Amino acid sequence: MPLVAFALAAVVTAMLCPLAIRFAWATGWLDHPEARKLHTSATPLLGGVVVCLGALAGGALLFARAPGAGALGRRTLLVLAGALVSLVWGLWDDRHGMGVPLKLVGQLIASSLLLAAGTVPDLGLPVWLEVAIALFGLISLMNAVNFLDNMNGMVGGIVGVTLLFHALHSLRNGDVALAALELAWAGACAGFLPYNFPRARIFLGDAGSLFLGYSLGASTALVFAGSPPGWGRVGPLFGLAYPAFDLIFVVANRVRDGRKVSQGGKDHSNHRLARVISCPKRTVTLVWCSTAVLCASGLVVQNLSRPLPTLLVSGLWILALSWAGYRLSSVPSGAPIPVAKS
pTM greater than the 0.85 cutoff: yes
User: Burial letters for 190-213: b for 16+ Cβ neighbours within 10 Å, e otherwise?
Assistant: bbbbbbbbbebbbbbbbbbbbbbb
What pLDDT shows up at residue 14? Answer: 96
> Pick from 51, 151, 34, 48: which is nearest to 92 by CA?
48
Alpha-carbon gap, residue 118 to 140, rounded angstroms = 20
Closest CA to 210 of 70, 284, 329, 104: 104
Do residues 113 and 75 lie in contact, with contact meaning Cβ atoms separated by under 8 Å? no
Domain range summary for the chain, segments of one domain joined by +:
2-329
Judge whether residue 341 has pLDDT over 50.
no
Write the DSSP symbol of residue 339.
Answer: P
- For the stretch 187-197, pLDDT in tens is 999 999 999 99
Task: Among 230-239, 240-249, 251-260, 319-328, name the one with the lowest average pLDDT.
Answer: 251-260
Residue 262 CB neighbours (<10 A): 11
Contact 183, 59 (CB under 8 A): no
For 70-79, what is each residue's pLDDT tens digit?
A: 444 567 788 8
Position 71 scores a pLDDT of 47
CA distance 171 to 173: 5
Phi and psi for 203 in degrees, rounded to 5?
-110, 155
State pLDDT tens for residues 176-222.
Answer: 888 888 999 999 999 999 999 988 899 999 999 999 999 999 999 98
Q: Are strands 43-44 and 30-31 parallel, antiparallel or unpaired?
A: antiparallel
**Stretch 25-37: mean pLDDT, rounded?**
74
- Of 55, 118, 63, 119, nearest to 83 by C-alpha is 55
pLDDT digits (tens, 9 = 90+) for 87-132: 999 999 988 888 889 999 999 999 999 999 888 888 888 998 999 9
